[in-house]
Structure 1
Amino acid sequence: MYLGLEDTVTRLQSRFEMLEAYEGMENIHFVLKANSITSGVEEDIRDYLTLHPNIKLVVIDTLQHIRGNEFVKNIYAGDVEFTNILRQISMEFDLTILALTHTNKGKHDDDISKISGSEGMAGGTDGNWVLTKSKRTDTRANLTISNRDTEAFEFALEFDKESCRWNKLTRDESVVNEKERFLHAKDWGELQTKYFELMTLFCQFALRENGEEKLWYKKILELMPKDDTDDSTTDNDLKDIP
């Protein structure tokens, strides 16, 4: 059962034609419009699953369309209640519910924290998959998987536009991808700052007793790429070292 709540019939048709996914199409139940969770969608899903007991997978794309805005006053409690409703349906009908949602904007140390909503959204599920890209137009991405009963996983993927599929990269391809992204990064200043912050901590705590902080900083600065107007390391670069 596929709830394509951001799709049209034409878009779905063209997508499946691209995937060449014709076999078994008669077993997919498409829904393009649904109520919110407090306006009857729970009952609608239960009634439909009762009529079609062979359904073993329910895909909701995207979650916000049935979640609604009823839980704004207490987002965390609302997200927990919402995911519990989906969990109860899953257990009652012995099936899997795959719910798609967007990611939050801003910087996060953990990719799972990027899931739209509060921590109650990610915490209330049996597993979370987060696909992240450096920018919208990238064809390569990182997939982070965090499940309740298994260890976490992380994979490098590349999107094939012709087949409309994500393919797993080999380890060597992943390393090359990271090197290229690093070498051609437009935000080099931000990357440089982060590395200096890490090295500052290293120098302060690991080398302080030996009095070698300035020596290590000088070595690091000498290895850093220089602008055309700056081809040497000066004492001014070291003035902020404690």
Structure 2
Amino acid sequence: MTTTLQGRTIAVTGASRGIGLRVAEVLAAEGAQVVAGARDLSGVPDIAGVQFMTLDVTDQSSVRAFADTAIAAGADALVNNAGVGSFMPVEDITPEEYRRIMDTNVLGVILTSGAFVPHFRTLGRSTIVNVTSDVSARTFARGGLYTASKYAARAITQALAYEGHEYGLRVSEIRSGNVDTYFGDTQQGIPEKEEWLRPDDIAQAVLYALSAPGHVRIDEILLHPTWQPIAF
């Protein structure tokens, strides 16, 4: 049986657990060869069709090695999923915390996308999917730094879509509400998160963006658990 992504190679960042790990699993199950990167690979399971490698998206040489491996394997798509969180009043934000968040959530998208774009430009058809958050267009108390990083990631996503249009690069943003992961040093699967989105919900949205027919561009997907107040 031919699966949705048979014969394709897709790079995924932030893939050691949570959303990124589930994205890698789903894409491999659909027939893709996946090159999956993350800073910490301890405890990562063996998954058929997935090659894990160490990746620090804030380090240009690490990104280059990751991109070279994926490109050599024939990558035609990239999923930028790596991200970190930080929640505090604006007055408590330090330069060090600012750099930690912005370097991962914004510079990481820039460096990783930039490492793949020259190759994608030669293909005629390619895809970048950026997993951000519903807070890429809203904010809240104690969320100034984190949401600023997601606003910035949204801007990079949209600018890249304009730039890539002429050479067949489709760029999608996946924006979700609360997801049951380890994000923010919390535990996955605790009772308080029972009605939250699951990593598989996000992975299926990523799959949809990556498997859309050639005449379709998925600009963004916004999804929330049903209990969460409507926010756009």
TM over 0.5: no
The TM-score bracket by the shorter chain reads 0.3 to 0.5
Whose RCO is larger (CA < 8 A, sep 6+)? Answer: 2
